[in-house]
Structure 1
Amino acid sequence: MSTLGLAGTASLTRLALRRDRLMLPVWALVTGGLVASGAGSLQSLYGTAAQRAELAASMSANSSMRSLYGPVFDDSLGGLVAWRFGTFAAVLAAVMSLVVVVRHTREEEETGRQEMLSAGAVGRRAPLTAALLAALTANTAVVLIVTAGLAGQGTAGALALGLAIGGTGMVFATMAAIVAQLTESARLAKGLTAGLLGLAFVLRAAGDAGTADGDSVLSWLSPVGWAENIRAFDADGERWWVLALIAAAVLVQTAVAYGLTARRDVGMSFLPTRPGPADGRLATAGALAWRLQRGTLLGWSLGFLLGGLVFGGMVEGAADIVGGNEQARQIFERMGGQSALTDAFLGTMVGLFGMVAALFAVGSVLRLHGEETSQRAEPLLAAPVGRLRWAAGHLVVAFAGAALILLLSGVGLALSYGRELGPILGAALAQLPAVWTLAGLAVLLWGAVPKAAPAAWGVAGVCLALGWIGPALDLPQAALDLSPFGHLPKLPGGDMAWTPVLVLTALATVLTAAGLAGLRRRDMAG
């Protein structure tokens, strides 16, 4: 590789890190902090070696738990942290990495910014190198946070777990680098790479469900399975050689990505978009919005349905998760709101689905921001299409789509658990006012202060963290109430409280209306 091909890499790397100066630190802190704080949470729940051994034994015998979290390789506090948080932290690092790489490669080309930058002294491989260095910086931060946070449980195990998480992030960063060369759309590049990540998780889950030792063929076919098979904190010693497998995958995929980027022009791809018919078939702005977002909605719908089926099959094993641990029972009751353990578990799962559905709704709303900043909205609005009518098409997908995926999660839970459909669907739909409130906030930020629109992701992330980790950390109710989800009735099994539901629905309406009013008054991005 010639140095000419890397000209301008340092400048582009600084630009990428500056653009992501808020997103990357927050994502790294959330991912690394989730793992680092896990030791304290588990220590408060399972304070004795006997309790930890009982938990490890019950989880190893439960195939549903293994499919979700992976096998338990050691009953030490560090081993339980690696089991409980390692897989999900690796997935979070992978999502962070693929978003960063696509954002600074294909998205830059799609918006035309890369063409302007390439007119200067910028080498052909510099943009890809800068994107990978930005991803490497973020993953290195995750490794350092995890290692420092868990060093008290054993330095070798903490380093192994940190490298497993960060290494998984880099595997999918380089995978996204390849996919970004193949597609013309940043949205499609993210979707395809996320689909490969989902496939890797499913392969790992299927392999772990069939065996308790993690050595299934299916697990070894998955990069997520490689992360768990490093076996951080294992009493028999970590498998450091698995890191060589991760490093080899990163190097090979990087070489392939560099080879592909050298063989195409800026803005082009190896799988060009198929041209549409000569006469357009999209008669309205709403039809265009549906066409642009239907693939995303389909993916979320399938994911929520499958998630409901998986979690529904775990309800009967809820007693195994808790065992005789009163503190664990209290956490489930605090999240699910009911004293009956199965209802509390179902309420917890429904609440988690609601918080994740808010991410879909916010992303769907912010598609408007992307259409505007990429200047694709400008030619559309130059036609006899009003701003409100254009925005309404995307907002219908965001608000109605959130209702659809929550319904599908409830269907999956009910079918897998074998419980009457009505109460679970009601519990799922009870999450909608909070989801719509966060979506309405995204509309307000985009409509009134478009530069602040990405902050909606941060608000949704904080709400997810409060609902997911807050009860385990025993945060005061005042802190939990900062999230709209903290005000919802705890269903199924509890009494329906209409006041917070109606108040949040009204708040979502006001926020959305205010955002649309701001859109009418302000200038569009040019």
Structure 2
Amino acid sequence: MERTAADSATGTDAGGGALAGTGVLLRFALRRDRVRLPVWIGALTAGTLASLSSFEQTYSTDADRTAIAKTLGSPAGLAMSGPGHYLDDYGLGAMMGHQMLGFVAVLVGLMTVLTVARHTRTEEETGRAELVRAAVVGRHAHLTAALVTATLASLALGGLLAAGLGASGAEGVGWHGSLLYGAAHAAVGIAFAGVAAVTVQVTQHSRGASGMALAAIGAAYALRAAGDVGGGALSWLSPIGWAQRTYVFVDDRWWPLLLCLLLAAGAAAVGYVLSTRRDLGAGLRAARTGRGSASGLLTRPVGFALRQQRGLLYGFAAGLFVLGAMYGSILGQAEDMIEDLAELREVVRQVGDASLAESFAATVMIVVAVIASVHGVMAALRPRAEETAGRAEPLLATGLSRARWVGSHVAVATAGGVVVLLAAGLGFGLLGAASTGDAGVVPDLLGAALAYAPALWVTAGVGVALFGWAPRATAAVWIVPVYAFVVGYLGPILEIPDWLAELSPFGHVPRVPAEGMDWGAAAGLTAVAAALVAFGIAGFRRRDLETK
């Protein structure tokens, strides 16, 4: 069948309209994500249920819950958790809505944003969308399939959360509230999928589209935090704020979720309209014209790799600086927070023979380090993205060796990891000093952050090793940071054996500043990281390059 000029202008197809082929693309997207999405959904569900279990053990009495509610009623506590109305009747259900809903909503938004970008802009960037559109596939089929995939993932997560919480039997966690809790997560995920439908139209690069959508998630969280500390008006500008203002397990209001659905529908509609105003593979925002000649740094492998990854580095550094600052703002209240909580105080004291504030800082640093390792993994796997996109082949056809090319990205991953850790430690230290009135915590927390650099390098090394020898299995590297978070942060609460914690590279890092630095362990981890990188580069030099 031939397409007419009118069909091309309106985005319709003679074979079935603008949505032709959506069902096939949807099945294909679900098949491609048959591992990725279940891992996301399973991890978020397990983390939520584990948190409920830890709340039951840590805050087992009304006195415990009253004590933590009093502490979280401070401006810093409200900014990190949620609106103060939850504190009026602080049962286990209210604790889930107050402390967990906003945090997990960010991760749900991340899941749906990456899903939409993966099945739309990435397909165009790699040229696969052009091949698919050569068949009887409508202009809006890719976007529709991506949105449906993200929606199904959000609904599946919401259903599992509702079922898991409802069946837990925890005091104050009933079925009605559990259904609303799951629906709130699903609604936030669908809302941010709609936001991604707009951002993928703006730029021609998938990383840029994802970055803009992630910035929207960050802005939503910041608006929620500012609104909860202030009068509450700013929170009504945020999908995360809407979800928390259901007051799940307290008032159980469903109507704020309609705002999420309206945002999703409106943003998706804008995305469809914008997609008809650009060419396939192009973005609405024109690419900036570069300089006539490249700088000396850009002509070198490391400089070129840094140029490719600078956006990722800047984003993680800024994000972890803010995260560290948020934790630092409550460092001065750490002892008050856990003074009346015997079980939590005992868990924190297990970190080291130090003050509660130092032990609290050491516990928080685990979370910061695991998040920083995400940057290390993404930077170390950039060569795989270049290879699958077909950009590595012409580059390696020059005099650039495979070892130097991969090594340049490894250098950016390792050095960038240090920068990200320093940013987190600096934010933690500066606000911690302001909170405690002790300027000496700044160098202490900077050192505590840097102590995790060798573990971060090992994590990146695992990614390089998989890239060299099993490129199709590179996604398995994400097991390392996920496992590190579970055994490092939740391990003391769940009483996970020490030998399981030591299976993670982060388990060999001393809990600075509560403990002294172990230079032998740092040297050992650095040696392991170097061996993994060398092993991965050796494998890459021996295997065939994936070509287009």
TM-score by length of 1: 0.95
Corresponding residue for 1:8? 21
Corresponding residue for 1:109? 124
Corresponding residue for 1:124? 139
The answer to whether 1:242 aligns with 2:263 is no
The answer to whether 1:20 aligns with 2:33 is yes
The alignment covers a number of residue pairs equal to 518
The structure 2 residue matched to 1:412, chosen from 427, 452, 472, is 427
The answer to whether 1:476 aligns with 2:497 is yes
Pairwise CA distance, 1:469: 2.4
The answer to whether 1:316 aligns with 2:335 is no
The structure 2 residue matched to 1:519, chosen from 530, 540, 543, is 540
Unaligned runs of 5+ in 2: 1-10, 434-438
Give the direction of change, closer, same or farther, for the CA distance of 1:469–1:343 in structure 2 (3 Å limit).
same
The answer to whether 1:196 aligns with 2:216 is yes
- Between 444-453 and 311-320, report the one with greater CA deviation: 311-320
Give the direction of change, closer, same or farther, for the CA distance of 1:338–1:179 in structure 2 (3 Å limit).
farther
- 2 CA distance for matches of 1:171 and 1:201? 14
Alignment of 1:445-464 (within 5 A): 445-464=466-485
Instruction: After superposition, give the CA deviation of every residue in 1:472-510 in whole Å (9 maximum; x if it has no partner).
Output: 222222222221111111111322222322211111110
The answer (yes or no) to whether the contact 1:181–1:269 under 8 Å persists in 2 is: yes
Identity percentage of aligned residues: 39
Structure 1: which 4+ aligned runs deviate by more than 6 Å? none
Corresponding residue for 1:508? 529
- 2 CA distance for matches of 1:37 and 1:346? 22
- 2 CA distance for matches of 1:228 and 1:210? 15
Corresponding residue for 1:344? 359
Alignment of 1:28-427 (within 5 A): 28-60=41-73, 62-72=74-84, 73=86, 74-151=89-166, 152=169, 153-211=173-231, 216-234=232-250, 237-281=251-295, 282-334=298-350, 336-418=351-433, 419-420=439-440, 421-427=442-448
Pairwise CA distance, 1:48: 1.9
What is the identity, as a one-letter code, of the residue corresponding to 2:535? A
Corresponding residue for 2:4? none
- 2 CA distance for matches of 1:435 and 1:360? 9
Give the direction of change, closer, same or farther, for the CA distance of 1:354–1:97 in structure 2 (3 Å limit).
same
- Between 105-114 and 307-316, report the one with greater CA deviation: 307-316
The answer (yes or no) to whether the contact 2:154–2:190 under 8 Å persists in 1 is: yes
- 2 CA distance for matches of 1:207 and 1:480? 38
The answer (yes or no) to whether the contact 2:373–2:417 under 8 Å persists in 1 is: yes
Q: What SS does the aligned partner of 2:492 have?
A: coil
The answer to whether 1:444 aligns with 2:465 is yes
- 1 CA distance for matches of 2:429 and 2:71? 25
Instruction: After superposition, give the CA deviation of every residue in 1:151-183 in whole Å (9 maximum; x if it has no partner).
Output: 141112111111111111111111011100111
- 2 CA distance for matches of 1:368 and 1:431? 24
Give the direction of change, closer, same or farther, for the CA distance of 1:411–1:58 in structure 2 (3 Å limit).
closer
Pairwise CA distance, 1:339: 4.4
- Between 286-295 and 176-185, report the one with greater CA deviation: 286-295
Q: What SS does the aligned partner of 2:286 have?
A: coil
- 1 CA distance for matches of 2:349 and 2:372? 22
Pairwise CA distance, 1:37: 2.8
Instruction: After superposition, give the CA deviation of every residue in 1:92-111 in whole Å (9 maximum; x if it has no partner).
Output: 00000100000000000000
Instruction: After superposition, give the CA deviation of every residue in 1:274-296 in whole Å (9 maximum; x if it has no partner).
Output: 23234344312222111111121
The answer (yes or no) to whether the contact 1:34–1:85 under 8 Å persists in 2 is: no
Give the direction of change, closer, same or farther, for the CA distance of 1:338–1:354 in structure 2 (3 Å limit).
farther
The answer (yes or no) to whether the contact 1:289–1:394 under 8 Å persists in 2 is: yes
- 1 CA distance for matches of 2:71 and 2:514? 27
The answer (yes or no) to whether the contact 1:55–1:323 under 8 Å persists in 2 is: no
Pairwise CA distance, 1:87: 0.8
- Between 382-391 and 189-198, report the one with greater CA deviation: 382-391
- 2 CA distance for matches of 1:381 and 1:391? 11
What is the identity, as a one-letter code, of the residue corresponding to 2:236? W
Unaligned runs of 5+ in 1: none
Instruction: After superposition, give the CA deviation of every residue in 1:1-29 in whole Å (9 maximum; x if it has no partner).
Output: 97521111111111111111111111111
Q: What SS does the aligned partner of 1:472 have?
A: helix
What is the identity, as a one-letter code, of the residue corresponding to 1:196? A
The answer (yes or no) to whether the contact 1:444–1:516 under 8 Å persists in 2 is: yes
The answer (yes or no) to whether the contact 2:380–2:413 under 8 Å persists in 1 is: yes
- 1 CA distance for matches of 2:26 and 2:479? 23
The structure 2 residue matched to 1:467, chosen from 472, 488, 492, is 488
Pairwise CA distance, 1:338: 4.0
Q: What SS does the aligned partner of 2:299 have?
A: coil
- 2 CA distance for matches of 1:208 and 1:320? 21
What is the identity, as a one-letter code, of the residue corresponding to 1:472? I
Instruction: After superposition, give the CA deviation of every residue in 1:207-238 in whole Å (9 maximum; x if it has no partner).
Output: 21235xxxx1111111111111111001xx22
Give the direction of change, closer, same or farther, for the CA distance of 1:48–1:131 in structure 2 (3 Å limit).
same
- Between 34-43 and 512-521, report the one with greater CA deviation: 34-43
Q: What SS does the aligned partner of 1:52 have?
A: helix
- 2 CA distance for matches of 1:461 and 1:138? 20
Instruction: After superposition, give the CA deviation of every residue in 1:336-374 in whole Å (9 maximum; x if it has no partner).
Output: 434421111111122221111110000001111101110
TM-score by length of 2: 0.91
The answer (yes or no) to whether the contact 1:338–1:490 under 8 Å persists in 2 is: no
- Between 254-263 and 271-280, report the one with greater CA deviation: 271-280
- 2 CA distance for matches of 1:331 and 1:141? 34
Give the direction of change, closer, same or farther, for the CA distance of 1:266–1:338 in structure 2 (3 Å limit).
farther
- 1 CA distance for matches of 2:134 and 2:490? 47
- 1 CA distance for matches of 2:116 and 2:405? 30
- 2 CA distance for matches of 1:320 and 1:368? 47
The answer (yes or no) to whether the contact 1:361–1:439 under 8 Å persists in 2 is: yes
